[in-house]
């Protein structure tokens, strides 16, 4: 796989890259398109950054909606997942009577944003622990019922958790939110280009995330999907010239002067991803992730979830007794790029994201290093 695929990226030779799930990785094809677009814009920015830009972004947004299989009139592009989340959290009404529920495996900046908003309003923020390894939807639902006996205003969850790489049971969480009268808000940073997005099936009021993690587009590119009840309520966190627009695309299209090139390369990136899928390369990534599952556990690591909750190309492992900083340093010295950090319960976590430039030798190299860590 690597011999033909690696040349599509500007990766340094000999680096083992398992961390595109953190920042994404632009392909050479997207980079070249971005350079062409940037030269075009700079040739006449008065025209290309004016009214023409909104029309071009509407085309890109429609392409994204078709690629993701979601309704075009409900989605907009934005800067990144953080900016989309900030818009939601700053816009929803909170009071001293409000109850917000969040899982302890949620992304740290999203948790912090809710903490700040709830503190300002005097609202209650309840964090519910997700058992690790995660093996049972029933157990999670029981924990939610036990900790939250009454009504809820907002439930914040991830379609795929970031550090623990768990594909959460979204339909069940959506049903629980509906039973409690809650608006479901979904962090889908690891969704596009990875798993299907089903906001209506989930019963979501808002879904936000990024495109640059799993598509090879330039960074940053975020997206925001809003159900009808949130359509006019959610406004960008920054007040710009289009803040009052009735069009959700236009509302988020001009956050002040910015670089629109990453958003304008989305179509190119999606087309390239589709080529990879038709060539069987995406399926190859899934098989490689399954291989990593087995050899990592044979090396002494533990899974973070049962098989049915493992995302196709993102896997995380618990390294019992290991120090995250030491593991990170060891992998870095071996030219292996992977996410290593501390979980909600203090455990050491290693996360691997497989891409078309990875192969079995890459898995062997990271496994060898982890075996070395766990044998100490």
Q: How far is CA 189 from CA 29, 81, 222, 291, in A?
A: 23, 6, 8, 24
Quick one: pLDDT at residue 153? 98
Quick one: pLDDT at residue 3? 56
Quick one: pLDDT at residue 4? 63
* Helix 266-278 with 51-68: angle, nearest 10 deg: 20
In what order do the strands lie in the sheet containing 339-342?
302-303, 314-318, 348-353, 339-342
Domain locations along the chain: 2-28+274-374, 34-269
Quick one: pLDDT at residue 7? 84
Main-chain dihedrals φ then ψ at residue 341, nearest 5 degrees: -165, -170
Q: How far is CA 243 from CA 222, 223, 255, 258, in A?
A: 17, 16, 8, 15
Quick one: pLDDT at residue 2? 56
How far is 228 from 243, CA to CA, in rounded Å? 18
For 119-210, where are the E strands, in sequence order? 124-128, 154-158, 183-187, 204-210
Q: Exposed (0-12), middle (13-18) or buried (19+): which is 271, by Cβ within 10 Å?
A: middle
* Helix 108-121 with 81-91: angle, nearest 10 deg: 20
How far is 258 from 144, CA to CA, in rounded Å? 41
Instruction: Please tell me the CATH code under which domain 34-269 is placed.
Output: 3.40.640.10
How far is 93 from 311, CA to CA, in rounded Å? 33
CB-facing half-sphere around the CA of 311: CA atoms within 13 A: 32
CA nearest to 347, candidates 321, 329, 309? 321
From first to last of the 376 residues of the chain, give the pLDDT tens digit: 455 677 899 999 889 999 999 999 999 999 999 999 999 999 999 999 988 999 999 999 999 999 999 988 899 999 999 999 999 999 999 999 999 999 999 999 999 999 999 999 999 999 999 999 999 999 999 999 999 999 999 999 999 999 999 999 999 999 999 999 999 999 999 999 999 999 999 999 999 999 999 999 999 999 999 999 999 999 999 999 999 999 999 999 889 999 999 999 999 999 999 999 999 999 999 999 999 999 999 999 999 999 999 999 999 999 999 999 999 999 999 999 999 999 988 999 999 999 999 999 999 999 999 998 888 7
142 Cβ contact list (under 8 Å, min separation 6) = none
CATH architecture of 2-28+274-374: Alpha-Beta Complex (3.90)
How far is 337 from 327, CA to CA, in rounded Å? 11
Tell me which residue has tokens 């190859």: 284
Decide: 49 and 260 in contact? Cβ < 8 Å.
yes
Quick one: pLDDT at residue 376? 73
């Amino acid at each position: 796989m690597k011999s033909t695929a690696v040349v599509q990226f500007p990766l340094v030779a000999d680096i083992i890259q398992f961390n595109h799930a953190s920042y994404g990785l632009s392909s050479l094809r997207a980079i070249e398109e971005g350079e062409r677009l940037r030269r075009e814009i700079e040739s006449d920015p008065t025209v290309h950054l004016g009214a023409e830009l909104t029309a071009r972004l509407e085309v890109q947004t429609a392409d994204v909606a078709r690629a993701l299989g979601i309704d075009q009139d409900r989605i907009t592009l934005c800067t990144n997942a953080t900016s989309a989340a900030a818009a939601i959290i700053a816009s929803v009404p909170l009071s001293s009577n409000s109850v917000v529920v969040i899982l302890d495996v949620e992304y740290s900046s999203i948790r912090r944003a809710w903490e700040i908003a709830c503190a300002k309003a005097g609202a209650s923020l309840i964090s519910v622990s997700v058992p690790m390894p995660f093996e049972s939807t029933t157990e999670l639902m029981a924990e939610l019922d036990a900790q939250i006996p009454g009504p809820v205003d907002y439930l914040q969850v991830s379609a795929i958790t970031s550090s623990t790489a768990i594909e959460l049971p979204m339909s069940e969480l959506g049903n629980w939110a509906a039973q409690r009268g809650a608006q479901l808000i979904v962090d889908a940073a690891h969704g596009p280009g990875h798993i299907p997005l089903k906001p209506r099936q989930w019963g979501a009021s808002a879904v936000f995330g990024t495109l640059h993690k799993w598509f090879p587009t330039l960074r940053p590119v975020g997206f925001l999907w809003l159900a009808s009840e949130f359509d006019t309520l959610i406004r960008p966190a920054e007040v710009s010239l289009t803040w009052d627009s009735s069009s959700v695309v236009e509302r988020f299209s001009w956050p002040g002067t910015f670089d629109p090139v990453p958003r304008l390369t989305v179509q190119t990136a999606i087309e390239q991803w589709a080529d990879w899928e038709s060539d069987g390369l995406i399926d190859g990534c899934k098989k490689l992730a399954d291989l990593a599952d087995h050899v990592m556990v044979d090396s002494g690591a533990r899974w973070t979830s049962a098989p049915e909750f493992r995302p196709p190309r993102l896997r995380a492992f618990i390294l019992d007794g290991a120090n995250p900083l030491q593991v990170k340093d060891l992998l870095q010295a071996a030219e292996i790029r992977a996410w290593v950090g501390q979980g909600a319960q203090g455990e050491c976590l290693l996360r691997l994201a497989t891409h078309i430039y990875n192969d079995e030798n890459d898995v062997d190299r990271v496994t060898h290093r982890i075996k070395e860590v766990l044998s100490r």
